[in-house]
A and B are shown apart, each in its own frame.
Chain A
Amino acid sequence: MEVRDLRTYFPTTRGTVKAVDGISFTVLEGETVGLVGESGCGKSTAALSIMRLVPAPGRIVGGEILLRGRDLLKLSEAEMREIRGAKIAMSFQDPMTFFNPVMRIGDQIAEGIIRHRKLSKKDAWEKVISTLEVVGIPAPREVAMSYPHQLSGGMRQRAMMAMALSCHPELMIADEPTTALDVIIQAQLLELMKDLKKELSMSFLIISHDLGVIAELCERVAVMYAGKIVEYSDIRTILRNPAHPYTIGLLESIPRVGYKKERLMGIEGSVPDLVDPPPGCRFSPRCRYADEVCRRDPQLTELREGHYVLCHHPIMGG
């Protein structure tokens, strides 16, 4: 999949919120890519744009989303319905609001299978059971017969992943797959996702605010800030040689469980108002390296092969 110059805006009474403002990235066959950023950076809006599920009054105003060369933004709603679930599937942060509370889990998962794979109800249910097994649910038949509220948070998250995987999509988008869960359950799900990556030859797009989760799962990562991708590279480069001051600040803000640090840096200030973003580089008001040049729009530049930075003063060898 290739995303080119995607723009998604939300009109409000105060003006237009440019939630996603010209982002481009690719997800290769069998690859796992991460979109990381803090709240309000536009990462979830980007995911919803790919699914063409941006809530009104939000609108995709420009760009291309190419799935094997076919632009999803040019498809009719009927054509898009054949893509959703079958080619691209998505899981969400909060499964409780995702599932229909008055329908059995099994029926909800079967719905998609019946629609996309044209199976009978009985065969679809068999498929449901086997998919629930794949995501490590110990008693799949019982879970399929349950209603969402009867399951724990970890189980609901697994059931939602089963629903996303049930039609063998080529790309799965997982929005904050482990955020609402306790660490022990989070670790179980991370291990599950690593197993799925190995077993199923499909691509993943992981949306998360947690660089630790991204570091464990992804090969490449795009760091978002205020609607733009500010740095984009393979995961090792991002963690070892980050070049954008925001990425560096983010890494220096994270306390590590592995060793004790004397002082965390943090980033002073807060995310800018996207109705009226600062001119030029959007991070400049919080950036310790900002100067006059930063009042002009920075261009995405390739520092090394495959390492892109949106900054006038990238930190080399950082």
Chain B
Amino acid sequence: MEQLVEIRGLKKYYPVERSLIDRLLSRERGYVRAVDSIDLEIGRGETFSLVGESGSGKTTTGLVLMQLTEPTEGRILFEGKDIFSLREEERRRLRRDMQMIFQNPYASLNPRMTVEEIVGEPLSIHLGLRGDERRRVVTELLDTVGLNPGKYYIDRYPHEFSGGQRQRIAIARAIALKPKFIVADEPVSSLDVSIQATILNLLQELKREFKLTYLLIAHNLAVVRYMSDKLAIMYLGKIMEKGISEDVFQNPQHPYTKALISAFPDINPDVRRDRVLLKGEIPSPIAPPPGCRFHTRCPFQRDVCRVEEPGLVEVEEGHWVACHLVN
């Protein structure tokens, strides 16, 4: 499959503020290693999921992809072109092809703008649409995302809508410029389950209709399994396991992946689960553990895990795992 997005050796470090004493003693500046050298390929037409707990670096990866923050190191290729070495006008053009849907539709929509202004803004900026023409396109977009009839909703303000409807408005804005690629950062996690399902279905329909490629950032594994073609599991800024979604779910290799899958409460009362229970909590990304970053919580750790960092190894076609036990 043709690759739409390629991420090569991506790093994003955030400097930590030093205290006065640190500066007087000229102690070294610490860094939060939010994303620490990851490689990913997203094929055209795929839904690729980034999975992990808070602090794993999944959202940071999405922000760098959307050029909302500069990477510390590494390259991102979109249709083969390095997006951080483009000239300004090329970058502007590129923004039409890449859009984002955020987690919280209560925060991502401007409360002082009508739906027409919210959804129409990118149309004015990039395509120069005005007046009746813009209104017609916005109405169509609202119909497309299930807010029909669109003309009934177009003059309202965000506060007049429920959470699910607001997320539909955010989606209408994201697809307004017919993008090729959408980053969806936890698009349903702030919604009720009955509404979540309708939004997930909408995203699937839009993907087929507009031949979209998604990067889905999510912590809910059931949502990820429902949506994805491929996925990568992140922990403390590193990829632990990646591959075709069904391969990973049916045959998880990394102890962290197994723990995540078994941690998820299921509604089947007959499942007798043997949980891979992890002790403690995710360590600080300022001073990640040496060797394998997961070793401090891994029930199967060996001596080598404390010293040497495992690289990603292909265990079956397209299924990669970073773990000493698997190699």
Taking the complex as formed, is B246 at the interface, i.e. its CB lies under 8 A from any CB of chain A? yes
Taking the complex as formed, is B262 at the interface, i.e. its CB lies under 8 A from any CB of chain A? yes
| Residue ID in chain B nearest A262 by CB atoms | B226
Please, how many angstroms separate the alpha-carbon atoms of A264 and B222 in the complex?
12
Taking the complex as formed, is B209 at the interface, i.e. its CB lies under 8 A from any CB of chain A? no
Q: Using Cβ atoms and an 8 Å threshold, which residues of chain A touch B225?
A: 255-257, 260
Please, how many angstroms separate the alpha-carbon atoms of A257 and B220 in the complex?
9
Interface residues of A in 186-223 (CB under 8 A from B): 186-188, 190-191, 209-213, 215-216
Please, how many angstroms separate the alpha-carbon atoms of A190 and B281 in the complex?
15
Please, how many angstroms separate the alpha-carbon atoms of A215 and B273 in the complex?
13
CB distance from A271 to the nearest CB of B (A): 8
Taking the complex as formed, is A145 at the interface, i.e. its CB lies under 8 A from any CB of chain B? no
Contact A235 B269 (CB under 8 A): yes
Q: Using Cβ atoms and an 8 Å threshold, which residues of chain B touch A315?
A: none
Contact B277 A183 (CB under 8 A): no
The secondary-structure label for the interface of chain B is helix
Please, how many angstroms separate the alpha-carbon atoms of A155 and B277 in the complex?
16
Please, how many angstroms separate the alpha-carbon atoms of A31 and B126 in the complex?
61
Please, how many angstroms separate the alpha-carbon atoms of A253 and B162 in the complex?
18
Contact A265 B197 (CB under 8 A): yes
Which among B195, B201, B259, B277 has the greatest number of chain A C-beta atoms within 10 A?
A: B195
Which among A38, A185, A187, A215 has the greatest number of chain B C-beta atoms within 10 A?
A: A187
Which among B194, B246, B262 has the greatest number of chain A C-beta atoms within 10 A?
A: B194
**Contacts A187-B277, A256-B222, A257-B222; is A212 near B267 (CB within 8 Å)?**
yes
How many residues in B have their beta carbons less than 8 Å from beta carbons of A?
A: 40
Taking the complex as formed, is A236 at the interface, i.e. its CB lies under 8 A from any CB of chain B? yes
CB distance from B4 to the nearest CB of A (A): 23
Q: Using Cβ atoms and an 8 Å threshold, which residues of chain B touch A185?
A: 281
Contact A257 B165 (CB under 8 A): no
How many residues in A have their beta carbons less than 8 Å from beta carbons of B?
A: 45
Please, how many angstroms separate the alpha-carbon atoms of A4 and B247 in the complex?
51
Q: Using Cβ atoms and an 8 Å threshold, which residues of chain B touch A235?
A: 269
Partner of B267, one of A251, A266, A268: A251
Taking the complex as formed, is B133 at the interface, i.e. its CB lies under 8 A from any CB of chain A? no
Taking the complex as formed, is A106 at the interface, i.e. its CB lies under 8 A from any CB of chain B? no
Taking the complex as formed, is A275 at the interface, i.e. its CB lies under 8 A from any CB of chain B? no
Contact B194 A253 (CB under 8 A): yes
**Contacts A182-B219, A256-B268; is A266 near B263 (CB within 8 Å)?**
no
Taking the complex as formed, is A239 at the interface, i.e. its CB lies under 8 A from any CB of chain B? yes
Per-residue interface assignment for chain A, residues 156 to 194, with 1 indicating a CB less than 8 Å from any chain B CB and 0 otherwise: 000000000000000000000000001111111011000
Contact A260 B198 (CB under 8 A): no
Contact A210 B265 (CB under 8 A): yes
Which among A155, A186, A270 has the greatest number of chain B C-beta atoms within 10 A?
A: A270
Taking the complex as formed, is A249 at the interface, i.e. its CB lies under 8 A from any CB of chain B? yes
Taking the complex as formed, is A39 at the interface, i.e. its CB lies under 8 A from any CB of chain B? yes
| Residue ID in chain B nearest A240 by CB atoms | B269
Please, how many angstroms separate the alpha-carbon atoms of A251 and B269 in the complex?
13
Partner of B201, one of A39, A212, A266: A266
Taking the complex as formed, is B291 at the interface, i.e. its CB lies under 8 A from any CB of chain A? no
**Contacts A190-B265, A255-B226; is A266 near B221 (CB within 8 Å)?**
no
**Contacts A212-B264, A256-B267; is A152 near B281 (CB within 8 Å)?**
yes
Which among A155, A185, A235, A255 has the greatest number of chain B C-beta atoms within 10 A?
A: A255
Q: Using Cβ atoms and an 8 Å threshold, which residues of chain A touch B266?
A: 212, 215, 256-258
Please, how many angstroms separate the alpha-carbon atoms of A9 and B275 in the complex?
42
Which among B54, B196, B266, B267 has the greatest number of chain A C-beta atoms within 10 A?
A: B267
**Contacts A253-B193, A255-B225, A255-B226; is A187 near B268 (CB within 8 Å)?**
no
**Contacts A257-B225, A264-B226, A266-B201; is A209 near B267 (CB within 8 Å)?**
no
| Residue ID in chain A nearest B204 by CB atoms | A263
Please, how many angstroms separate the alpha-carbon atoms of A287 and B265 in the complex?
27
Contact A186 B263 (CB under 8 A): yes
| Residue ID in chain A nearest B223 by CB atoms | A255
Taking the complex as formed, is A267 at the interface, i.e. its CB lies under 8 A from any CB of chain B? yes
Q: Using Cβ atoms and an 8 Å threshold, which residues of chain A touch B198?
A: 266-268
Please, how many angstroms separate the alpha-carbon atoms of A54 and B294 in the complex?
44
Contact A213 B194 (CB under 8 A): no
Taking the complex as formed, is A154 at the interface, i.e. its CB lies under 8 A from any CB of chain B? yes
Please, how many angstroms separate the alpha-carbon atoms of A93 and B241 in the complex?
32
Partner of B164, one of A186, A254, A270: A270
Taking the complex as formed, is A250 at the interface, i.e. its CB lies under 8 A from any CB of chain B? yes
Contact A183 B219 (CB under 8 A): yes
**Contacts A188-B277, A249-B194, A255-B222; is A183 near B264 (CB within 8 Å)?**
yes
Contact A209 B192 (CB under 8 A): yes
Contact B261 A257 (CB under 8 A): yes
Taking the complex as formed, is B309 at the interface, i.e. its CB lies under 8 A from any CB of chain A? no
Chosen A-B contacts, 5 in total, with CB atoms closer than 8 Å, are A183-B260, A191-B277, A215-B266, A255-B226, A256-B268
7 nearest CB pairs, A to B: A266-B197, A212-B265, A187-B263, A266-B198, A267-B194, A264-B197, A253-B197
Beyond A183-B260, A186-B265, A253-B193: 4 further Cβ-contacts under 8 Å? A184-B53, A210-B265, A212-B266, A256-B222
Residue positions of A touching B, CB distance < 8 A: 38-39, 152, 154-155, 182-188, 190-191, 209-213, 215-216, 235-236, 239-240, 249-258, 260-261, 263-268, 270-271
Residue positions of B touching A, CB distance < 8 A: 53-54, 162, 164-165, 192-198, 200-201, 219-223, 225-226, 246, 249, 259-269, 271, 275, 277-278, 281-282
